[in-house]
Amino acid sequence: MSEQFYQENGSNEYHYTSDQLNGFHDQDKKKAKGRKPMTTGKKWATVIAMALVFGLLAGGTMFGVNTAGNYLLGRAGSSSTHLAQTQTTSSSGTGSTASGGTVSEVASNAMPSLVTISTMSVQQMRDFFGGTQQYEVEGAGTGVIVGENDTELLIATNYHVVEGANSLSVGFVDEHSVEAEIKGTDVNNDLAVVSVKLEDIPDDTMNQIKIATIGDSDELQLGDQVVAIGNALGYGQSVTSGYVSALDRDLTLSYEDGTTIESTGLIQTDAAINSGNSGGALLNMQGELIGINEAKSASTATGASVDNVGFAIPIDKAQSSLREMMNQETREKVDEDQASYMGIQGSDVSTEVSELYGVPTGVVVAEVVEGSPADEAGIQKGDIITELDGRTVSSMSQLQQTLQYYAAGETVDISVERSGDGGYQEQTLSITLGSAADAQNQ
């Protein structure tokens, strides 16, 4: 049996202006210098069943979700938003001392920055007679408040927490819940940003929540104590504590749609990370966010059970992706009469194929419909689509889901890898999307 892992799914008022939210401090250059590539480290597993871990279905069965939410990431908005800078707070205030606080102090200070995430999705299941039926299922995960712009509160989580969600809501520390939107997704790094409109958050709730203090995961050492907070089992926020067991771990993860990614450079901890913890906070003893909880172990290669082997995405690895998503414009799913199409037939380039043959991951174009928007844009058979409007494309299903947020007639950039004498070369093409209704009538 192969080794298996599972994905896991206040009182002071904090308000930040766009100028105050000026990024993950100016240590980016220092940290980039000498940092190991994200692909280094020993691999612990071949495929991790991400779909089975962050929520509950009747009787304790775990499940994931498949489709994108009602809103998806867009291009840069009107104002720049960044992750909050690292802050040092005194023991007389809401934070811990520079030398570190107790687990209870860390949890108390961080809890206003944590949210529960509830999702609804539709899944197809095969029935007794060989047909398929659709079922609405509920999922649970966690998020961390990492920023705010003029109109939105911004929350970091895992991509697999919101994957496939038709709708989602966020619950704050005072247990008040509001509808939320998927602002951005980073499939390759299992990250997402969820947004909540500030106008939807009551003043009393705003006075109790705060933006997380960002720490420095590059400074972690083996044996450092850490605290994990998340919506375990969907019951609400719970706290566990442990130590940094290992650094720079690599995992191969599989999403519900079959897409696989390499999640690299992870923090390993023995702090319990369970179903529902996905997207939650891994904190140092100063109460600073140093990781986004992502996965836990299930068994060894021999089938023996494993305890207290969990993994988190280091915040220093996540920072650039989160910052980019936070600055994107939130897009709303278009009405059916505005649905768009490109005019291609394609298939996925799996991670295995990419590694074996050196082919870029994405969607390989099997056929281009003559006279279609793709044809007019210059897309060719054999091209591999890797981005649409700045969004990473890793599978055909993801490309189709992304198009649901673009209306016919919109012109966007599309990145393709095209094979030539020197190997694959990236090209950026401009495509004006056509009407899906017109395509169906042809």
pLDDT at 357: 80
Q: Which residue has the higher pLDDT, 119 or 211?
A: 211
Shared-domain flag, residues 171 and 152: yes
Shared-domain flag, residues 140 and 166: yes
Q: 5 is written with which tokens?
A: 């892992």
Shared-domain flag, residues 165 and 143: yes
Structural domain tally of the chain?
2
**pTM for the full predicted model:** 0.71
What CATH number is associated with residue 412? 2.30.42.10
pLDDT at 288: 95
At 163-196, the pLDDT tens digits run: 878 889 999 999 999 999 988 888 889 999 999 9
pLDDT at 51: 31
Shared-domain flag, residues 97 and 166: yes
Domain that residue 366 falls in: 334-441
Shared-domain flag, residues 79 and 211: yes
Percent share of the chain, pLDDT over 90: 44
**pLDDT band per the 50, 70, 90 thresholds, residue 133:** low
Residues 407, 403: Cα–Cα separation, whole Å: 8
Shared-domain flag, residues 223 and 361: no
Shared-domain flag, residues 311 and 395: no
Backbone angles phi, psi at 122, to 5 degrees: -110, 130
**Boundary of a domain, candidates 306, 326, 346:** 326
Shared-domain flag, residues 87 and 201: yes
pLDDT at 308: 83
DSSP helix, strand, coil percent of the chain (3-state; round to 5): 20, 40, 40
Residue type, 39: T
Q: What is the largest CA-CA distance in the chain?
A: 70
pLDDT at 136: 63
pLDDT at 179: 93
pLDDT at 58: 27
Q: Which residue has the higher pLDDT, 46 or 176?
A: 176
Query: Is the confidence at residue 348, as pLDDT, over 80?
Result: yes
Q: Which residue has the higher pLDDT, 47 or 309?
A: 309
Shared-domain flag, residues 100 and 221: yes
**pLDDT band per the 50, 70, 90 thresholds, residue 131:** low
Q: Long-range CB contacts (< 8 A, 24+ apart) of 108-112? A: 109/10, 109/287, 110/212, 110/227, 110/229, 110/281, 110/283, 110/287, 110/289, 111/10, 111/173, 111/229, 111/237, 112/10, 112/11, 112/12, 112/173, 112/208, 112/209, 112/210
What CATH number is associated with residue 104? 2.40.10.120
Backbone angles phi, psi at 419, to 5 degrees: -75, 135
At 56-92, the pLDDT tens digits run: 322 222 222 222 233 333 333 334 565 655 443 333 3
Active site (catalytic) residues: 160, 190, 278
At 300-325, the pLDDT tens digits run: 667 777 788 899 999 999 999 999 89
Shared-domain flag, residues 313 and 384: no
Instruction: Identify the helix (H) or strand (E) that includes residue 377.
Output: helix 373-377
**Boundary of a domain, candidates 310, 326, 342:** 326
Compute the half-sphere exposure of residue 11: CA atoms within 13 Å on the CB side of its CA: 5
**Boundary of a domain, candidates 326, 355, 375:** 326
Shared-domain flag, residues 279 and 261: yes
Shared-domain flag, residues 139 and 255: yes
pLDDT at 299: 66
